[in-house]
Amino acid sequence: MRKFTVGVIGLGFIGMAHVEALRRLGNVEVAAVADPDSCEAKAASIGVQHAYSSYKELIDNEKLDAVHICTPNSTHFEIAMYAMEHGLAVMLEKPFTVSIDEAKALCEYAEKNGIIGGVNHSLRMNPMVMEMKALVQKGLLGDRIYAISGGYIQDWLLYDTDWSWRLDSKLSGKTRAFSDIGTHWIDMVENITGLRAVEVLAEFEIAHKIRKKPVGTVQTFSSSTGMKYTDFPVDTEDWCSVLFRFDNGAIGSANMSQITAGRKNQQIIDISGSEASLHWDNEHSNELWIGRRDEYNQIVVKDPGLVEPLAKRVISYPGGHNEGFPDTFKQQFRLFYDALEHNSTEGAEISLFRDGLREMIVNDCVYRSAMERKWIRIEEV
């Protein structure tokens, strides 16, 4: 097994999750980290020896095979390009970039120079998401999918005092609920069904048009007490309702929310086929419901001895031992480093730079639809 040496750039909520997941693989050493904010202290807290306040210094000074980019969205393009110009493979957090032009430039550079680039749509790696994909491929749902519904719902931005850099469109891009979590939902749905969304109709709601921005920094998903604030005008959506039309004629409907009290991080996918339907709710992520019209319904439980080979591929523990969010990162990175080892992404199942470009195209169409209040055709570029 080839050993890899990597650097992690951005050590906030998700950068820390990357470090932890990488260490579970066994063949990847996190040699260095970079973050302009308290990097030495963050590195020391997780036992990484080399800490840099600038990603350029990390890339220039370390002998690396790959970098993981876990920084705010607006910085993804420049960091990924710099890493690739230095010959490094890249695992980039979603959303891929903040524009189609940036996404195209990254894809073209990677393809021209034979660089493997992954986008961390890790939620694809949930065993029951893979099981849904395998069951659709087996024809369990019948010869047609009629409709797909669900959403991705959270509550961490419910109050006007909740703050994150994601509320600033200069850092996060022109959509928020959709690009932050909706892109995960549509990525999973397209990957499970093999269908492509070809048209979209979106409607946005900004619950707090003025938010209170704390004076000082706030970590993602943390709450704040005793803070001082300034008023901050918000121009991105807290809620996004979206209708899709897929390339087989199926209809899709989904809601994305960051303001639904009590829903911490719920993803729901419902697929209605001509013979059977599927329902998956990640709040019970190790179970998958199969609905039938003329027979008993079934609950599939995550068990490598029972599920389809595709799902088994992303399971590390026996039945009855739940696997969840951090495990999807481990599986995603395992398949990414397998692809690097064999210098091939054939059958890798993970999201790659091309999927990141697709993500940005859909995201742009959702935004234009909400702004123009009409159906928008999703064209490939």
Nearer to ligand NAD, 92 or 110 (CB): 92
A 10 A CB-CB count for 192 gives 24
Q: CB under 8 Å to 115, separation ≥6 — which residues? A: 84, 87, 88, 89, 90, 109
Contacts 24+ apart (CB under 8 A), 165-172: 165/72, 166/72, 166/220, 166/236, 167/211, 167/213, 167/232, 167/234, 167/236, 168/232, 169/235, 169/236, 170/74, 171/72, 171/73, 171/74, 172/72, 172/73, 172/74, 172/98, 172/236
CB of 296 to ligand NAD, least distance (A): 35
**Three state DSSP letters for 142-166:** CCCEEEEEEEEECCCCCCCCCCCHH
Nearer to ligand NAD, 220 or 248 (CB): 220
CB of 17 to ligand NAD, least distance (A): 7
CB of 60 to ligand NAD, least distance (A): 14
Nearer to ligand NAD, 14 or 189 (CB): 14
CB of 332 to ligand NAD, least distance (A): 9
Could you give the CA distance from residue 41 to residue 44 in angstroms, rounded to a whole number? 5
Could you give the CA distance from residue 13 to residue 311 in angstroms, rounded to a whole number? 27
Ordered DSSP codes for 235-264: -S-SEEEEEEEETTS-EEEEEEES--TT-S
Nearer to ligand NAD, 150 or 273 (CB): 150
Nearer to ligand NAD, 13 or 375 (CB): 13
DSSP class of 180: I
| DSSP-derived 3-state class of residue 15 | helix
Nearer to ligand NAD, 36 or 139 (CB): 36
CB of 16 to ligand NAD, least distance (A): 8
CB of 164 to ligand NAD, least distance (A): 7
CB of 267 to ligand NAD, least distance (A): 11
φ and ψ of 31, to 5 deg = -85, -30
CA atoms within 13 A on the CB side of 240: 32
Could you give the CA distance from residue 229 to residue 250 in angstroms, rounded to a whole number? 46
CB of 352 to ligand NAD, least distance (A): 15
Nearer to ligand NAD, 61 or 220 (CB): 220
Nearer to ligand NAD, 109 or 165 (CB): 165
Residue with CB nearest ligand NAD? 12
Q: Which residues bind ligand NAD (CB under 6 A)?
A: 9-15, 34-37, 55, 70-73, 75, 93-94, 120, 122, 165, 180, 219-220
Whole-Å CA distances, 346 to 9, 124, 205, 339, 343: 27, 16, 40, 8, 9
CB of 54 to ligand NAD, least distance (A): 7
Nearer to ligand NAD, 235 or 247 (CB): 235
